[in-house]
Amino acid sequence: ADEINRAPAKTQSALLEVMQEGQVTIEGKAFTLAPPFMALATQNPLEQEGTYPLPEAQLDRFLLKVLIDYPQLEDEKRMVTAITSGRAASDFDLSQVPRVLGAGELLELQRATAAITVDDEVIDYAVRIVAATRQWPGIAVGAGPRGSIALVRASRA
């Protein structure tokens, strides 16, 4: 999903449904999505015009938030040269991107990581990290139990 903070409430609600329930509803009929399912989204945190606040319930379902800074000058120069000389991203040939693994292999890896035993000390540490977000003065709303669960799951990978 691109720039989810530009999506109106109805679209955000549909995204929340698919992230929580693993299904989409179209004209009153629910369709279950086959595993593996994951949601990747972008957000433009700088622009406020024409954006909608993301509900905590939705933000809580993302495992990671990656902040992307400005490119280095040489990288930006290559980007500007490529785009202004007609080699835009729309010309990118996806068929040249090699497949790394298939859906079955990904599911197998997910099952393997889920089977990894996590020591109680690691779980305790994850829960304490998440609990600290609830008291941190610079954080308005700390992470909930989903944060602890996600942190432990990520530690397995």
Q: Which range of residues forms the domain containing residue 7?
A: 1-68
Q: Which residues pair with 26 in a beta bridge?
A: 29
Give the predicted TM-score (pTM) of the model. 0.65
Q: Is residue 62 part of a domain?
A: yes
At residue 100, the pLDDT reads 93
Q: Is residue 6 part of a domain?
A: yes
Q: Is residue 18 part of a domain?
A: yes
Domain count for the chain, please give it.
Answer: 1
Q: Is residue 38 part of a domain?
A: yes
DSSP string, 43-86: --SS--TT--PPPHHHHTT-S------PPPHHHHHHHHHHHHTT
- List the CATH number of the domain containing 55: 3.40.50.300
Structure tokens at 47: 């622009």
Q: Is residue 111 part of a domain?
A: no
Q: Is residue 16 part of a domain?
A: yes
What's the whole-number mean pLDDT along residues 116-136?
Answer: 96
Q: What percent of the chain has pLDDT over 90?
A: 43
pLDDT single digits (tens) 13-63 = 888 888 888 999 999 999 999 888 888 888 877 767 777 777 777 777 887
Whole-number Cα distances in Å, 57 to 41, 102, 135: 15, 31, 19
Q: Is residue 131 part of a domain?
A: no
Whole-number Cα distances in Å, 53 to 21, 43, 60, 144: 22, 11, 14, 19
Query: Is it the case that residue 95 has pLDDT exceeding 80?
Result: yes
C-alpha to C-alpha distance for 95 and 110, rounded to whole angstroms: 26
Residues 6+ apart with CB under 8 A from 84: none
